[in-house]
Amino acid sequence: MNERAADVYTFGTTPDAAHRLALLADLFAPPTRDLLARCVPPDAARPVRHAVDLGCGPGHTTRLLHTATGAARTTGVERSADFLALARRDLSDGVSDGVSDGVTYVEADVTRAPLPVDPADVVHARFLLTHLAAPVEALRTWAGALAAGGRLVLHEVAALDSADPVLHRYYGLVADLQRHHGQALDIGDRLAALGEAAGLTVAHAAVVAWQPDAARMAALHVINLRTWRHDPYVAGATDPADLDALDAGLVEIARGRPCAPVEQSLGEAVLTV
């Protein structure tokens, strides 16, 4: 049997993509920190000895996970050598949010078992399942990295839209692109079902409404658009003039043009073996 092809990460690993992830990390840190505080509360009787951050990119979520859980050690796992170079550079330059001791990074594809990490008390993934065509298999792989009693903590988009025509058009195109690659923008709406299909126990699952700032979201989106507009599927299915107009519209919103709010829901789940 042929090995399954690697998943397509449509948002890119360029310097611009890394900048987008920095903006995203700042915008979404509060709800992720809140999730970790609720699902991995400090517990002197059960300290987090090792935490693992999957699909860590340039390391923003890894450092958040490390501080939020109080882990003695935290390992970020990422397949992009370019992103890992940025994460390691920030650690060595001392610009990593005051975090350095106990944080390390390894280069690996998070869908390939076994993961090259020590057993972890917490395995965390934010906005990662949405980019994977075989999420159930991925969850099984991730669960294999848990220590006894460990928790797999997931955070994903469950719904994303806006009554603003520019934002609505953007979200529709992203959903179409991900669907073409076997992925799902709204995968956060079914985390519990996916966990059960993977043979895991659902310790917690919820969908929480979240209304992020539209201008900050548009600033993220225009960077994404300039990457995925060159995807062969998008290039073949969409008029370049339409994409140019969408780009201009997103720039206007990012610069403060009034618009309808972004209506987003975030799915969260804690799974155990």
CA distance 123 to 116: 13
Backbone φ and ψ for 150, nearest 5 degrees, come out as -75, 165
Backbone φ and ψ for 159, nearest 5 degrees, come out as -160, 150
- Give the tens place of pLDDT for each residue, 203-239: 999 999 999 999 999 999 999 999 999 999 999 999 9
Contacts of 257 (CB under 8 A, 6+ apart): none
In terms of pLDDT, which residue wins out, 46 or 182?
Answer: 182
pTM of the model: 0.94
- Which domains does the chain carry? 15-157+181-211+261-272 (3.40.50.150)
Question: Percentage of the chain with pLDDT > 70?
Answer: 95
Residue 96 is predicted with a pLDDT of: 53
- Give the tens place of pLDDT for each residue, 4-38: 677 889 899 999 999 999 999 999 999 999 999 99
Residue 16 is predicted with a pLDDT of: 93
- pLDDT mean over 155-171: 98
Residue 97 is predicted with a pLDDT of: 54
